[in-house]
Structure 1
């Protein structure tokens, strides 16, 4: 049955505050974002939709796509193209070497190896450019509409860009993959080649891991002259999971510490509604009672910055008037909770009591 909005109950604030004005931390990054990884709600945004060079944050997409599409145990033969990559961090791949895909993904995520991403692309898709097209297709599937990739490693290119918001969405998605999540919080590892056999010790480029920032779980660094200092970071602490993104920062670790510490300090759980809470009444056709009370079918707890409870808005949407009988618990609408234009959650509205149908003769005389 189609829902039709009939009433909005809202706690509105007065005044024309700019978005994100309340008590926000100051960061040096030209673009930044802080997201709740559980809900996808942004609690801080600075130029979040501004297109910027992502540098090696690109490798988050390269790695998650490889993990989803191929077997980490598959052996890859290194091509001349992959072996010729020299700029930035590399693991010194050599033509015709054989190495497992999982080792290449490990190198891409932990030490940001640029040559590893080219070998990944060629091993998974057959050639580099096809894999890049797959990266762009995946970006669209994830709703990253302001992102375009031109390569697998983040080298600067006019057609290679993303946004702080898009990269937060990407990281949120990637962190749900257990192998990806394991790799990005690995401080140090060993890369193993199949043939000829050799090894290399690598360390994670994310300094927050090495300094044991409270609750840090990854994710990825990136740096080029065009992109500046970039960092996606994730923390899990006190039951809360946050993802931060800073792009073109003067001090990416300083900015990230401020964002994550601010989020952990000011974000608070609030009860939006309790189970069985009364909201409104809905007319009932041909019932012994003219209407039925609507109550919430469950409790809902949301997360808000301290002091912003007054910005919580509630929109109630009801179904068309039902025909009796109406049974207790019948779904008849929903209430959507939003904060600063973002949905925090929704709860069903159900009949709070039964409404029996009028006997046939009463219905007959009602229509006379």
Structure 2
């Protein structure tokens, strides 16, 4: 009976995860924003620190161009010379760069125009150059969204013109931006204040200015990203900004003042979020029984430390999961489980738990003598 009881206990320890406790970490309330939907994310970790209707599907307007341009940068040579089609040249609604049928222009100039000037005609020319036709490129955009896990995003066009089936969410747009900013060319373009678009044939130039006013002195720490405006979508903005080693991404959709809302979120994040140490390397966490060992159990310690950005004043959950049945011998450093840290349902990180000491196997004569070595 004793053996069976012990096995039941070990089974619970091996396959169970349990809440070990919470860490109280007081912070200022997040700002009020006029946007109908908004989100704030730290780019490196991908953690969200502010959400307002952040999973509600809404019209993204020209924020669509983030997907259009990152896909083009990944799938084609920016130095490719594009011949402008009649369809691309016919786009006249919203901001354009006055493309004309038969003109030749490099793909990188079209991407520049789309990201900096938000040129709607440029996105159609981009799609046709990369995929052969506009609608095929849109299908690629939707496929890329699925690959990135953007389950609440669907595109119908490349520039963000309003359509009932063209939508995204604040969280999806933040995740998309996080991905796009990994591309150096994309990151450089969305941070550019002024530029010149140049054509190959006939040779002409067009000075352009970034539509993101935060880049023109509105917020010194800003690093991008993209504006968007339609009647259905209202004022939209994705804004990124650096704060020390961190970079935050704010998304505001249908805002009464997108720049004020974005700055409020970015400033709050840089001020209120602090690095908190959740675990030290070598820190003791629990013990695990060892069958047939000279010791009855083994201490589990953290293989590495973990520090994350957190607002002060909210609890962090700590869950321990043990993943192995133990039988001697056990060697120091053997992986035996992990600690999972959670905040507001988001996983902050995981730390491996390893054996903190050696547990040797009992010798053959152990049972004969009935001795237990400590």
1:143-222 correspondence runs (5 A): 143-211=149-217, 213-222=219-228
Q: Does 1:58 align with 2:64?
A: yes
List gaps (5 residues or longer) in structure 1: 14-20
Q: Contact (CA 8 Å) 1:55, 1:222: kept in 2 or not?
A: yes
Q: Contact (CA 8 Å) 1:214, 1:237: kept in 2 or not?
A: no
- Distance in 1 between residues matched to 2:215 and 2:182, nearest whole Å: 19
Deviation at 1:24, TM superposition (A): 1.8
Q: Does 1:8 align with 2:19?
A: yes
Q: Contact (CA 8 Å) 1:218, 1:234: kept in 2 or not?
A: yes
- Distance in 2 between residues matched to 1:363 and 1:8, nearest whole Å: 37
- Distance in 2 between residues matched to 1:3 and 1:219, nearest whole Å: 47
| Aligned residue number for residue 330 of structure 1 | 334
Three-state SS of the structure 2 residue aligned to 1:348 is strand
| Aligned residue number for residue 17 of structure 1 | none
1:1-368 correspondence runs (5 A): 4-11=15-22, 23-211=29-217, 213-308=219-314, 311-362=315-366
Q: Contact (CA 8 Å) 2:14, 2:325: kept in 1 or not?
A: no
Root-mean-square deviation (Å): 1.6
Deviation at 1:93, TM superposition (A): 0.4
> Quick check: 162-171 or 356-365, which moved more?
356-365
Q: Structure 1 residue runs of 4+, over 2 Å off?
A: 2-7, 360-366
Deviation at 1:4, TM superposition (A): 2.2
Q: Contact (CA 8 Å) 1:55, 1:223: kept in 2 or not?
A: yes
| Aligned residue number for residue 18 of structure 1 | none
Q: Contact (CA 8 Å) 2:227, 2:237: kept in 1 or not?
A: yes
Deviations 1:15-70 (A, max 9, x none): xxxxxx97121000000000011111110000001111000000000000000000
| Alignment: residue pair count | 356
Q: Contact (CA 8 Å) 1:5, 1:318: kept in 2 or not?
A: yes
Deviation at 1:238, TM superposition (A): 1.1
Q: TM-score, with normalisation over the residues of structure 2?
A: 0.93
Q: Contact (CA 8 Å) 1:283, 1:290: kept in 2 or not?
A: yes
- Distance in 1 between residues matched to 2:59 and 2:350, nearest whole Å: 36
Deviations 1:112-166 (A, max 9, x none): 0000000000000000000000000111111110110000000000110000010
The 1:33/1:363 distance shift into structure 2, 3 A limit, reads: farther
Q: Contact (CA 8 Å) 1:91, 1:107: kept in 2 or not?
A: yes
Three-state SS of the structure 1 residue aligned to 2:100 is coil
- Distance in 1 between residues matched to 2:199 and 2:56, nearest whole Å: 40
- Distance in 2 between residues matched to 1:363 and 1:161, nearest whole Å: 70
Q: TM-score, with normalisation over the residues of structure 1?
A: 0.94
Q: Contact (CA 8 Å) 2:324, 2:337: kept in 1 or not?
A: no
Q: Contact (CA 8 Å) 2:174, 2:251: kept in 1 or not?
A: yes
Q: Contact (CA 8 Å) 1:80, 1:95: kept in 2 or not?
A: yes
List gaps (5 residues or longer) in structure 2: 1-12
